Amino acid sequence: MTRDTPLAVIAADTARLRRQFIELPYHLYASDPRFVPMLRRDERRRFDARHNPFLEHAEIRLWLAMRGSTVVGRIAAIDDRLHNETHGEQISWFGFFEATDAGVARQLLAVVEDHAAGRGSTAVRGPVNPSLHEAAGLLIDGFDDPPAALMAYNPPTYPVFLDAAGYAKTRDLYSWSLDLTAQLPARIARIADRVRGRYGITVRPVDLSRFDAELEILKVVYRAAWADNWGFVPPTDAEIRQLAVELRPVADPELVLFAEMDGEPVGCAVSIPDVNQVLKRMNGRLFPAGVLHFLRRRQIITRVRMLLLGVLPRVRRLGLYPLLIAEAIDRAARRGYLNGEVGWTLEDNTLINAGIAAAGGTHYKTHRLYEKPVG
C-alpha cells in the first residue's frame, strides 16, 4: 500500500468493521510511549446502547478510512438531541478522530460535514468522545506528558490537520499541574482558614456506605454549579450513576469532598487516582496479566486528577474555591500522592483558573475544541 492507493471512507456498520474502528488507536500508537490504551471492553461499550446511557439522547455514526484493506483513519458523527435542546443550537459533533495524514483527515471530516448538513445542522464541532463529560478537545500543547484519566491524547499533527480542513478554535480547555509535595502557598492557607471561620464551612469526604444518598447530593451540586458554563448539558441520572459506578472500584473516598454551609452542600471537589498509570501496563486487556496490575494499583498510582471542582452560584464569591483546592491538596498529599492534575477548566473561567494558579498550579496542557460552519 502507498499514498497512491485510492482512499475510501466507509460506514463502520457491521460487527467486523466496528471492531476495526475500536482497534485502530492500539495500532496507530503502538510505538508512542505516551499513549495509554483503554480497556477494549470499555471502548466497545461506548457504542452499545445497553451500556451507554448517553445514547438514550444521542446518536453516533461511525466511519473508517481505508486504503485497500488497511485502516488509515476513523471518525464519528455525534448528534446529541439534549445538547441542542439545552442550548438552542443545531450542532453536530465529531469525535473518535484518528488519521494518518492530512488527506485522510480532510475526507473523514468532509463525510461528517455532509452528514451534518443533511440533518440541518449549522456547524460541526469537536472533538468529543462522545461528549464534554468525557474525553474532549484536541491536545494542542503539553505533548511530553502522558494523559491523565479520562483525558484525550493525540499527536501534534492533528491540530495541523484540523486547521487545513478549515476548522477554527471555539474554546480552549486548560489542564493544570500541581506538585503535591510542595508546601501550600501561605495565602491560600489563610483564605481557607478565614472561609471556614467566617462562614462556618465544613469539608467532609464522601461516605461510600451511603452511596445512593451521596450520589443524590453530587447530582444536585454538579448540575447547579456548572449550569452557566459554556457547553454544559446537565447529565441524566443514568449518566451520573454510570460514571460513579465505573469509578467506584478505583475511588479514594478521601479525595471526594463535599463543602457544606449550615449543614447544606454548597460545593464539591472530586478527584480520582490516575488509573491511567495502571492502564498503561495493561495493554487494553484485563486478562490475563492486566488484573495483576489492577490489584497492585495502590502501589503503582502516584498521581491524582481533580475532575470536578464546583461551587453553587450563590456562594461562589465567598472563597470556597481556594478552600476546596487546599483541602484536596492536603488530603491527597497525606495519602501519599506526589502529583496532581486539575482540569479541564474553560479558558475564560477566570475565577477558578485564578484559584488554581494561586494554589501553585501550572497551566501545562491545552485541549482545543474546533468548529466549522456547514450547510
Type of residue at 355: G
Confidence of residue 297 (pLDDT cuts 50, 70, 90): confident
DSSP state, 183?
A: P
Domain boundaries, given as residue ranges, for the chain: 7-171, 183-359
Using the predicted structure, report yes or no on whether residue 287 has a pLDDT greater than 50.
no
Which residues in 244-278 are b (16+ Cβ under 10 Å) and which e? Answer: beebeebbbebbbbbbebeeebbbbbbbbbbbbbb
How do residues 183-212 score in pLDDT, each as one tens digit?
999 999 999 999 999 999 999 999 999 999
Is residue 95 within 8 Å of 152, Cβ to Cβ?
Answer: no
Confidence of residue 167 (pLDDT cuts 50, 70, 90): very high
Is residue 156 within 8 Å of 142, Cβ to Cβ?
Answer: no
Judge if 7-171 and 183-359 fold alike in CATH terms: yes
Q: Count the helix, strand and coil residues of the chain and give each as a percent rounded to the nearest 5.
A: 40, 30, 30
Helix (H) or strand (E) holding 344: strand 339-346
Upstream peptide bond of 288 is cis (omega within 30 degrees of 0): yes
How far apart are alpha carbons 329 and 131 in whole angstroms? 28
* Inter-axis angle of helices 350-358 and 320-334, nearest 10: 40
User: What pTM was computed for the model?
Assistant: 0.94
Confidence of residue 291 (pLDDT cuts 50, 70, 90): low
Is residue 81 within 8 Å of 75, Cβ to Cβ?
Answer: no
How far apart are alpha carbons 250 and 271 in whole angstroms? 11
CATH level 3 topology of 183-359:
Aminopeptidase (3.40.630)
Say what the pLDDT of residue 298 is: 72
How far apart are alpha carbons 200 and 192 in whole angstroms? 11
Is residue 82 within 8 Å of 56, Cβ to Cβ?
Answer: no
CATH level 3 topology of 7-171:
Aminopeptidase (3.40.630)
Using the predicted structure, report yes or no on whether residue 293 has a pLDDT greater than 80.
no
How far apart are alpha carbons 256 and 271 in whole angstroms? 6
Confidence of residue 281 (pLDDT cuts 50, 70, 90): confident
How do residues 313-353 score in pLDDT, each as one tens digit?
999 889 999 999 999 999 999 999 999 999 999 999 998 99
Confidence of residue 289 (pLDDT cuts 50, 70, 90): low
Q: What is the chain's mean pLDDT, rounded?
A: 93
Upstream peptide bond of 322 is cis (omega within 30 degrees of 0): no
Using the predicted structure, report yes or no on whether residue 218 has a pLDDT greater than 60.
yes
